[in-house]
Amino acid sequence: MKSVYDNCGVFAIYGSDSCAFEIFQGIDFLQHRGQQYCGIATYDDGVHQVTHHGKVLSSFTDQDLDSLPGRWGIGHVSLKERQPVKWQSSLGEIALAFSGNIMNAASLKSDMMSRGKAFWRGYDVEIITKIILEEQDPVAGIAALASTIKGAYSLVVLTREGVYAARDIYGLRPLILGQGPGKYIVCSESRALINLDLAVVRDVRPGEIVRLDHHGFTTVRQLPSPRRAHCAFEWAYTASIDSVIDGLAVLEARYNLGARLAQRDQEEGGPRADLVAPVPMSGIGHAIGYHMQSRLNYQEVFLYNRYADRSYTQSTQIAREKMAKRKLSVLHYAVRDKRIVLCDDSIVRGTQIFNKVHDLKQAGAKAVHVRVACPPLMYPCDFGISTRTYEELMARRYLYRGDITSMAELRELERWVADQIGADSVKYNSLDDFVAALRLPRTDLCLKCWDGRRPMDD
């Protein structure tokens, strides 16, 4: 299976004043979606562009921002590659940035090369741009993606007319409109709007193409959407807890997921514990939800290194393990002689939770009971999250084929995982409880990581 590295964020603005600094701030608020690369492109009698390998705050200089004139522009953060990309074409100079993943990239690239197209690196963003530029105008080009690309995308296109923004016909990746005095914005998460004192307007609809210009927001095309299929992992892990995605607050979703775990423990009569604690940062909301439902004392047991990156979104296993080691240190005083319920968002490969359980017991914890908000991950993601192969998924080391279809099977897996990671017990949310906690129709969610069903195959 093709490796999937994309975990990105986009930000775009059309305003009445120079926009580079605001884009800089916007992509900084999206830094959690990708820490390897960042970039900004603005329009002023042509496209001006600066990209960097590194984080936003440590990469962009005052000189960079001064070299980006213009009242409209786009920005990007990424785990995989430098974006935005800039092109000269019959449509004039344009720049493009996107979040997502193209499943049929290899076949599309092969077909284009047979027709004389050339590629620099063969990145997905190159394929997307070439499809757009084959049409007579940006709207027709963006619309052509829906019938050509198999996968997920939220994208922004910088042109002389303004900025075009689009979401795939299933709405797999988030994209949100906002506005302020004399300015119109589109970005991957609402936190970028809220923290810039901008108003959230609405989510871009699946299949919608919106233009941002001096008129504000204009829906220039609405493509038919077979169904909604919002990535459920956004609420469990990817998105920031101060964001609201497709009407559901991320923090509310995590509270609900943690509460479901506590309800199951209450129904099943266990465990005996002194406190509930999170694996920071994404486990915090889940642990608070568990605390509110169970009334078990909430206590931090790890000190989070604010200068570390998200370990799950590192591009190699070695990098993930090094970052995980840097990220958290044990608060020995809080741990010694305590029985701990430890909440995390998910178990992917199992290495990091094994290390955390080991660290807590080395620090004197009497017991560690692991509670996991997501059901067991059974399938790699095709649409943008950093899981790559079946072999890397811990649950697949237990059950090589098939699915977990009953609570009895889930309990058997949980006992095996507990033994593997050295925990006194492990419990996951079932898929039914997971969906119920999100309080969105099951048919509006992409659950491919758990049930193996791609929305476009339904």
The yes-or-no answer on residue 8 being catalytic is: yes
Angstrom distance (rounded) from CA 368 to CA 29? 34
The total number of residues shown for the chain amounts to: 458
Please give the full DSSP string across 14-77, using - where no structure is assigned.
EESS--HHHHHHHHHTTGGG-SSEEEEEEESSSEEEEEEES-HHHH--HHHHHT--SSEEEEEE
Determine contact, residues 228/213, Cβ cutoff 8 Å. Answer: no
Angstrom distance (rounded) from CA 223 to CA 368? 50
Sign, CA dihedral 233-345-4-164, equals positive
| Torsion, Cα of 133, 138, 144, 146 (10° steps) | 120
> Active-site residue among 8, 374, 446, 449?
8
Count CB atoms within 10 A of the CB of residue 247.
Answer: 10
Query: Is the link from the previous residue into 226 a cis peptide, with omega within 30 of 0?
Result: no
Residues 6+ apart with CB under 8 A from 441: none
Element (H, E) at 162: strand 162-167
| Torsion, Cα of 259, 260, 262, 267 (10° steps) | 140
Closest of 341, 323, 208 to residue 274, by C-alpha: 341
Angstrom distance (rounded) from CA 251 to CA 389? 29
Active site residues: 8
